[in-house]
Structure 1
């Protein structure tokens, strides 16, 4: 085994699944159990992908021998992901649960998040010291969400707060600020993950409306992140909360440099509209924002990706993610081959170690 194959990995986007449709029921009080049953008797989840993938959402080889659903068997996850790829920590994010923010009923969504967080702490995090968790909140009611952050964040194996990219307004707007205040108060980064844009109460998944298929939806996800990122900066979130950090997960990478060029250029002419900003927008992004590698753009000419990395502080802003067990899983031994060893070390583990305080 060569030196590069021994590099430790902190995987910042691992999706833990549910064993059955009733996994969360023990963590719900009777009122919300009844509501969940009225909604079909299955998992009390929200949203989901508004467009079906023609190749499914999971790796075919990720089906556990135990017969449990994909992603629901922690022992098989350890065998298939943790051990072969030298994963030091796997940060668990339930992409199904964070979609509860697409429900119209804010109290129901908040109850589901409380149940999931208790379930995560009781039934996943004790399975391995490798597992760390992102607590789930619903964005419909930021005051309730802030209370949930305060309740769960002190747990030593909870390392961040997760929400979904789908929304009814850009995330920089002051409606959401109680969430960011709670994140800063508890020293928790906010991780934004895609998955339900265009469903439930959310706005359409693109700036011009709804698309027709999964290919279009998946390709246009950076639009969501562009809007949220510009909103965070221009609404002064990073001035108001100077220690607050944001992770843009699973939304691509190479769209960032041209967006920042455009934002900096426009700020120089239009800064009177944002008098609270004291620095260039790109400087706020560099100091407060991170991105995950998966699904990393892979041009035919690898030199082009390297050039894009040189256009922003990729070495310090990128976090490795595999997206296990989804179909577009990234193997940490295969990506970033053209980059120096120390750059790979930072992206594969050290940036995440510092951000999540592992």
Structure 2
């Protein structure tokens, strides 16, 4: 494998970089990286990997670009609204660097497809924002023997680490379960849609992730294996903590990660898809629509439902009629699934989750 004259010119600053040079650049060209999630973290991560010359980049994300993404997901613009994120990302990345290959997966990353997709890549980088997927990514990487470059953000704070890295002695570095053996209680740590995030923060953390990926591929510097970097954008402080592997933790198979994280298994919940729900509206069926997003989200776009944020539902469920059909929705269907499970516990028998949330509903327009 060699670089063309145009590639040598493109990567000139890498080629003259002491300790990097042609050997490292060729390693980048030969490498394949899967990025799970093309949102806030995925936007800078993907752009820097593409610009650096990583030869094959896989992108998995089922969502479409919405206007609320543009505050932090700088991979996209107004012209991309409504497009699948993976397709909009591919177009932008190939414009940035036509010498690479982009593979897209417009689907959810789950335990059914995880091992097959991971098998095609050298390194896995996680840009997701929920605990079930993080544990799934970690366990799949451990079982597949793949290094996992982790990043997470919340409001003004972010974290970066490298899990399951192959070390010189043939062992693997600690994994996500060594750092976080058990997930937090449900609803204790909201995602960005619920808790908000400073727009520039995913740019910082995503760039850090890209840095770790490039270091691993090129065998440059010291990766964050066995260490987690904590960054606070509000006070501009950074700390690096060390952690060790826990020999008592064994990962032998993929499990039900929603249940592991204390969430309802969505396939076991009563649900309705966006098309059927729209048909109900057109027929004028008698039902109550419950929106469990936050007030700021509701102000941006809503379907006219009753607004009771998920975090307030346990104290306000009595406002809902128990004997009437209730359809619950959020942005993507995750929070509404929790709400349906909560209402079932309170004795509601005719409550349904809107699959895909308001995103799926708007996709029908």
Interval containing the TM-score (normalised by the shorter chain) = under 0.3
More strand by share: 2
Task: Please identify the structure whose Cα radius of gyration is greater.
Answer: 2
- Normalising to structure 2: TM-score of the pair? 0.27
- Normalising to structure 1: TM-score of the pair? 0.27
Higher-RCO chain (CA-CA 8 Å, sequence separation at least 6) = 1
